[in-house]
Amino acid sequence: MFNILDILGTVAFAVSGTLAAIEKKLDFFGVLTIALVTSIGGGTLRDLLIGNTPVSWLQNLNSFYIIMGSSIFAIIFRARLSIFRTSLFLFDTIGIGLFTLVGLEKGVNINLHPLICISLGTVTACFGGVLRDILCNEIPVIFRKEIYATACIAGGFVFFGLRYLNLPEDIIYLATAASIITIRILAVLKKWSFPPIEMK
């Protein structure tokens, strides 16, 4: 089960990075670099923090090939993808849903406290997109108005809530990813946001 999540998340972020880099008119190598960094950034930071080194993309070439393939695919079909103005948003959203799960699972596997697992899942999900935005000179997505990291945090609570109820693993995974993706999409569609904290 687990590898599939990781692969799908990697594909989703590679496509989102590719689209963001094309928008910035980068050349072929620039686009591949941003696709790579977006896809492996979150997992690399997570691996460094938990001491899982050499980090996973150094240990086998699968994610490398998947990212190159997805990025080249997205470059070829970029015109078609851009028909949906929301493709970048959709791929990024699927990416955070899946990568939050990957991070949660890695934390659970080494017996970290649930709150720490949720932090780790959120870091795994959000850091690649933050790097993508910094390198593309955009305001990082977690600091824009709508709900973003909060969706990952909420998904983390769903995950541990359902685990507490002893539901089967497949259902927990599905429900967690679905809740993150749903919250994020609704937040953007309905313009949900928290008010800023004002200096009274």
Contact positions vs a second copy (CB under 8 A): 21-23, 25-31, 33, 44, 48-51, 53-55, 57-58, 60-61, 64, 75, 78-79, 82, 110, 112-113, 115-116, 119-120, 135, 140, 142-143, 149-150, 153, 193-200
- Of 144, 180, 157, which is closest to residue 9 (Cα–Cα)? 180
CB 103, min distance to a second copy, A = 12
Considering Cα of 164, then 160, then 197, then 194, what sign does the dihedral take? Answer: negative
CB 117, min distance to a second copy, A = 9
What are φ and ψ of residue 187, in 5° steps?
A: -60, -40
CB 59, min distance to a second copy, A = 8
CB 139, min distance to a second copy, A = 8
DSSP state of 84: S
Query: What is d(CA 35, CA 78) in angstroms, rounded to the nearest whole number?
Result: 14
Q: Which is nearer to a second copy, 23 or 169 (CB)?
A: 23
Q: Which is nearer to a second copy, 59 or 167 (CB)?
A: 59
Query: What is d(CA 35, CA 102) in angstroms, rounded to the nearest whole number?
Result: 19
Give the burial class of 199: count Cβ atoms within 10 A of its Cβ; 0-12 exposed, 13-18 middle, 19 or more buried. Answer: exposed
Q: Which is nearer to a second copy, 88 or 94 (CB)?
A: 88
